[in-house]
Amino acid sequence: MLAQLNRAAFGRPSPLLSYTRSLYPGVALAAVIGLAALFLSEHYSAPVMLLALLIGMVFNPLAEEAAVAPGITFSSKPLLRAGVALLGVRVSLSDIASLGVAGFGAIAGLLGGTILLGLLLSRRDWQSGVLTGGAVAICGASAALAISACLPKSKALEQETLFTVVAVTALSTLAMIVYPVALVQFGFSEAQTAFVLGASIHDVAQVVGAGLTVSEETAELATLVKMVRVSLLPLVLCVLILTVSAAGKRDRTQKIPVPGFLIVFFALAILANARVLNEEMADFAAGASKWLLIIAISALGAKTSLRSLASAGGAKVIRIGGLTLALLAASALCACFLPGLF
């Protein structure tokens, strides 16, 4: 009766309002999962992305309900792309310039080599190769989500993305503990240790944590090296979009579609480097990006069951682990034998 009176008084609700209402339960669920993951991360020093993913999987049966599914899908796709777009404020040309030609060249070579190795190890599945190679080479979970957003959508891709996020996050946490101790034991200097940590550990937070176990100066230089890797993400995404477009069966006279989120990514990077965005605005955008990615990975977790993730196979575990060790070895060789890095 109340609903009938409401329609009589105000007319039918607009399509936009109806659509927003249909999204609310799923988005709210993903946000609550993200809040729980952030709380546990801050109190137990665990990776927030990994916690959001694992907690989300617990809610998989609920996420398949008709009332929740639209919001979960919205959180795992449009909100994911919005979070990736806001990563543009983290791109710093001054960081690249301060590292010098030799340092930038070494980092770019390590990044490109890791992605190529990922493609080689993946054999026929090039999408899986670029996803795992890019995640290891650039910035872990964030890079995996960004690369996934540029690839043709499929259920297999979602599962591959989730598996990659779990693997690189776990390996990055392990690297944060093991790498600094091992490098010091092998006699690496602080500058060499900083370069290896920044060039080989997947996640920014883990790079900072690993560097601080040696010294504050090591953490600062390692973070600089890491941010140069992050700054190369837009270049990788552009190459990926061109590759996907060329692989598709499109008429050559048609224009190559450029995702809107990538345009926003570049626009924010330009504005941030031109100092149009002040520090407060850049920090707000970076914080919003983190939140959107946490919500997106929570939704992705809720869409995937533990059984489907476990069926990914040991070969993919070996591949990601092999890429991680190969990047570590190559970074250590660069630190030892390339002149002009420091």
191-243 residue pLDDT tens? 899 999 999 998 777 887 788 788 878 887 888 888 888 888 888 888 888 88
- Whole-model pTM over 0.75: no
Task: Report d(CA 258, CA 178) in Å as an integer.
Answer: 41
Q: What per-residue confidence (pLDDT) applies to 5? A: 37
Q: How high is the pLDDT of residue 133?
A: 93
pLDDT of residue 42: 86
C-beta separation of 111 from 232 below 8 A: yes
Q: Is the pLDDT higher at 96 or at 308?
A: 96
Give the pLDDT score at 327: 95
Least confident of 212-216, 288-292, 295-299, 333-337: 212-216
Structure confidence by residue, pLDDT tens digits, 10-65? 455 566 677 677 888 889 999 999 999 999 988 887 778 778 878 888 888 887 78
Q: How far is the C-alpha of 167 from the C-alpha of 203, rounded, in Å? A: 12
- Residue scoring higher pLDDT (303 or 252): 303
Residue 95 has pLDDT above 80, yes or no: no
- The pLDDT assigned to 9 comes to 43
In this structure, how many other beta carbons lie within 10 angstroms of the beta carbon of residue 184? 15
Question: Which residue, among 171, 201, 173, 210, has the nearest Cα to 317 in the 3D structure?
Answer: 171
Q: Which whole number is the average pLDDT over 257-284? A: 80
Distance (Å, whole) CA 303 – CA 280: 35
Confidence of residue 132 (pLDDT cuts 50, 70, 90): very high
Position 256 confidence tier, pLDDT thresholds 50, 70, 90: very low
- Top pLDDT among 232 and 94 is at 232
Average pLDDT, the chain: 81
Tokens of 252: 């050559």
pLDDT of 329: 95
Residue-level pLDDT at 305: 66
* Per-residue model confidence (pLDDT) at position 81: 79
Q: How far apart are CA 8 and CA 3, in angstroms?
A: 9
Looking at residue 83, its pLDDT comes to: 84
CB of 53 within 8 A of CB of 162? yes
Residue 315 has pLDDT above 80, yes or no: no
Q: Which tops the pLDDT comparison, 190 or 141? A: 190
The 10 Å CB-count burial string (b at 16+, else e) for 55-70 is bbbebbeebeeeebbb
pLDDT at 312: 55
State how far the Cα of 114 lies from the Cα of 142, in Å rounded to an integer: 17
* pLDDT above 70 coverage of the chain, percent: 85
| Structure confidence at residue 252 (pLDDT) | 47
Residue length of the chain: 342
**pLDDT bucket at 248, cuts 50 / 70 / 90:** low
Whose CA is closest to 183, among 160, 205, 213? 213
Mean pLDDT value of segment 160-189: 86
Q: Greatest CA separation found in the chain?
A: 79
> Which amino acid, one-letter code, is at 67?
A
